[in-house]
Structure formats: structure tokens, C-alpha cells
Structure 1
Amino acid sequence: MKKLAITLLIPLCGYAATAQTKRKPATKKATVAPVKMTGITDSASYAFGFSMASGLKANGVKALNYDLLMKGLKDVFQGHAPLLTEQSSQKVIGNLFKGITMEKYAAEIAKEKNFLEGNLKVPGVRSTASGLQYIVVSPGNGASPKPTDNVTVNYKGTLLNGKQFDSSYDRKEPLSIGVDRVIPGWTEGLQLMTPGSKYKFFIPYNLAYGERPMGQDIPPYSMLIFEVELLKVNSK
């Protein structure tokens, strides 16, 4: 009985192999008529489209609604009323690129978030309602600066990975600046300090430069770590 089963299986296997190797009848591919450019307007139109798309793709845009893209072009050239106001247009474009940038830096954003959550468990680390974290390295004396004051400080700034991007110590030149003329994390942090004190600040990206890069050293969505020494307060 076992031998019979094996005998029956052999031709079936052969049929299956034959069936799998049979080729499907070839289907004719739809032919696409070549685009003809008969004048300077045609050539320039294509060049505008190609150049615009190349720039958008290079900045992370993967696809667009091409029907609405064409409608936008036609509405301008044909004098039709726009579907969006100029303000709304700028907002949706900004939100699109913001989303693209967030996706690109999602891993770094998550890493910084995890660091800040864990950093709260470190002895000596304090946090404000805004999310600014700090350590009092050494206390000072006197009155804290107000937003309207000018201060003189020494500082060193690094990224989470330890890369230094700025240091007044290296320049051997303290910085004098208005308390309200710096990133939000600094404006808030300086008002916690007193002359002669030294603090270490852990500044979330939303209190730093946000989704914007700052030069070549600070990428978008960067948490910043600063060691700041308040030398003196100069009232305006």
C-alpha cells in the first residue's frame, strides 16, 4: 500500500513541475506616446516642472497630488480665486516640511526624550514646569537677573552625543547679552541663577532652536547641554 502511494505521487509531482514551468501568454505593454516639445514655451514648461520637482524631492517630498498641483498653477495663470489664502498656504507647506524633518530625526528625538526622562532620576537634577532641567554646580550670591537685564557669562555648549559646538572659555572672552535675547531655555535658566553661580542646563529642543538647524553644528530637534557661569548682572 505504501509502495502504491509513492508510485501515484511520482506522476503528480511531474505534472506540478510541468504546470509551474508553463509560461503565461505574453501581454502587450501599453505604448506611451512620446511627449513633443514644439517651442520654447513647451521646453520651459517641462524645465520648470522638472526643476521644481527635483528641489522638492531633494528636500524630502516623496509625492504630491498632481491634479491639485496643476490646478494651483492654472489658477494663478488663469486668474482664478485660490482655494487657500496665502497665510494658509504658508502654514500647510511649513507643516509638510516640519513633518518630513521630524520623520528624518525621529530616532534622535526619541533618544533625547529617553535621556531627559532618565535624567530626572539623577541626584541633583531639577526641572521647571516648561521641561528645562538643571543642576546647581555651585551657588552664587545676590539678585537674579530679570528679562530686561543684560548679563555677562562664560559658557560651554554641547550636544547629547558630547560634541561641543560653542565655548566662550575656548575664546577666552565672556559673552555679554540681554536675558531676553537668547533661546527660551537660556532666558528661563538665567533667571534661576545669581551672580557667581554655575549651572548645568539640559534644554529640550522646544526650548532651544526647535525644528530649525543652527549652522552646521546643531541639527534640527537638538537637545542642548550648557554649562553656564553667571559672572555679573548689568541692568539696562
Structure 2
Amino acid sequence: MKFFKPTLVAIALLSVMGCQESATQEEKAIALDTEIQKQAYGLGASIGMYMERNLEEHDKVGLSLDKSIIIRGFTDSMAGKSQIEKEDIQALLMNLDQAMKAKQREQALASAEASLAEGQKFLEENAKKDGVQVTESGIQYVVLKAAEGEKPVATDTVKVHYKGTFINGEQFDSSYDRNQPAVFPLNGVIPGWTESVQLMSVGSKYKFTIPSDLAYGPNGKPPQVPGNSVLEFEIELLEIVKPEAAPQVGDQ
């Protein structure tokens, strides 16, 4: 597993550089005068940050790892006196990896179930608001800016600006922030988008509330979108992108 090796090295580095309580201040100090010294320190710092993130992930699922035991395992192994055989270590780490994945699946399922109930309640309340219209499939929308332009069909490619948020208002995506409109075929996105954008005319701007089954469903789009998320999008239809005409025989 890729995760454990840098983690062990990082903890060993931390123990050498900062965790020896008996070391004096002079012994703790290190020279960073040359490029190679700085590179060595940067490598250690990078591994340390990677290690910290991974240990935090274990903590989140209730599989906290005792750093002192990890350090002891590292130093014992370096000294050639590991208390556990290499083959057993590999099996133990595989078991830990499997336990980690099982805990993550368990938490994701619980989160998805809670999100489904929360989303259904939100849709029921949102549908009662003034100006909200509901399609037969359950998509809710409000016209923010009307227009009389052409409407796309599912096989068209469109250019849009958009902002995507969860029902709590937290933004997860925005072409406005990137200062770059998105261009995509309507039949190549989530079903809620395929249906929604066909309601719009070029130049219009709508706000859509899309049920989870017409978005990313129970699996979500990890790590950005949790399972069973109802999503809201403000979409501005800028253009229906027409395919370039094929050159005629004899054209120069």
C-alpha cells in the first residue's frame, strides 16, 4: 500500500527532528545553508504533511494509530530487531487497509441516507415558494432572466456559465470563478442538466434544483459531491455551439 511507507518515514523524521524530549536545543537545531540541505528538509516536510493528512483520515473513521508505537516499529526495523515478521506485517497492513475502506463505506452509506431524507424535505418546501415551477420529472426551476433566443435540443453542444451549490448554500463548482464558460454536449452530462438546459433560450438565466436521482445518485461524485445530494445550479445559456461545416471538395 502506498500510504503506509511515507507515513512511517515521516513519523521517523519527526521523531528525529522534533520529538526527542531529551535532546538539547543545540542538538535539535539543523543547518539549512545549502541547496541540498534545504531539499532534504523540504522532502521531510512534504512527507510530514502527507502523513498528517492520512492519520487524520484514520482518526475520522475511528481507526486512530498510536504514533509512539509506529515510531517504535520503525526504529526496531531499522535496527534489525522487528518484533513482527515481514510476512505478518504485510498481512496486518492489508487488514488495516480493508478495515479503513469498510469504515469509509459505512460512513458514506450513513451520510447518503441522511442526505436523501434531507433532500426530500428540501424539495417539498422549495416547491411551495413563489415563482418555483416543477417539471414532470421533479426538477424545480425559477426564471432569473427571460430571453427569446433559440432553445437547444439534447444532441446540441452548449456554452454556459454556471454556479453549483448544495442545498445549504455551500458552493462546489463555478465557471464564473474560473472566468471560463463551460462547453459540453447536453447528452454527455447528468440527466438533470440534459433536461434543464433544454428549457432555456439563449440569453436566459435560470436557477434549477435537481433531485439526487437526476444528479449523481446514491454514489455521488467523490470527493466533491456526497451520495444522494440534491443540487442547485444557476445556469446562464450563452450559446448553442454549431458544428463547423465540412469543407467541400475543391475548396482551397
Query: Identity over the aligned pairs, expressed in percent?
Result: 42
Alignment-derived partner of residue 164 in structure 1: 171
Q: Distance in 2 between matches of 1:43 and 1:109?
A: 45
Does residue 223 of structure 1 match 2:230? yes
Unaligned runs of 5+ in 2: 1-84, 244-252
Q: Distance in 1 between matches of 2:136 and 2:89?
A: 53
Q: Distance in 2 between matches of 1:167 and 1:192?
A: 21
Unaligned runs of 5+ in 1: 1-41, 63-96
Among 200, 207, 212, the alignment partner of 2:219 is: 212
Does residue 106 of structure 1 match 2:148? no
Q: Distance in 2 between matches of 1:160 and 1:104?
A: 15
Does residue 115 of structure 1 match 2:122? yes
Larger radius of gyration: 1
SS in 2 for 1:169: helix
Report the alpha carbon displacement of residue 57 of structure 1 after superposing the two structures with TM. Answer: 2.7
Q: Is the 8 A contact 2:144 2:207 kept in 1?
A: yes
SS in 2 for 1:211: helix
Q: Is the 8 A contact 1:156 1:227 kept in 2?
A: yes
SS in 1 for 2:217: coil
Report the alpha carbon displacement of residue 195 of structure 1 after superposing the two structures with TM. Answer: 0.6
Q: Is the 8 A contact 1:138 1:199 kept in 2?
A: yes
Higher helix share: 2
Among 201, 226, 229, the alignment partner of 1:194 is: 201
Report the alpha carbon displacement of residue 157 of structure 1 after superposing the two structures with TM. Answer: 0.8
Q: Is the 8 A contact 1:145 1:191 kept in 2?
A: yes
Q: Which amino acid aligns with 1:58?
A: M
TM-score (normalised: structure 2): 0.56
Q: Distance in 1 between matches of 2:136 and 2:201?
A: 20
SS in 1 for 2:160: strand
Q: Residue by residue, what CA displacement relative to the aligned partner does 1:143-181 show, whole Å, maximum 9, x if unpaired?
A: 310111111111111111211111111222211111111
Q: Distance in 1 between matches of 2:136 and 2:88?
A: 54
CA distance 1:135–1:178, change in 2 (3 Å): same
Q: Is the 8 A contact 2:113 2:228 kept in 1?
A: no
Q: Which amino acid aligns with 2:96?
A: S
Among 136, 153, 159, the alignment partner of 1:152 is: 159
TM-score (normalised: structure 1): 0.59
Q: Which amino acid aligns with 2:126?
A: N
CA RMSD of aligned residues (A): 2.5
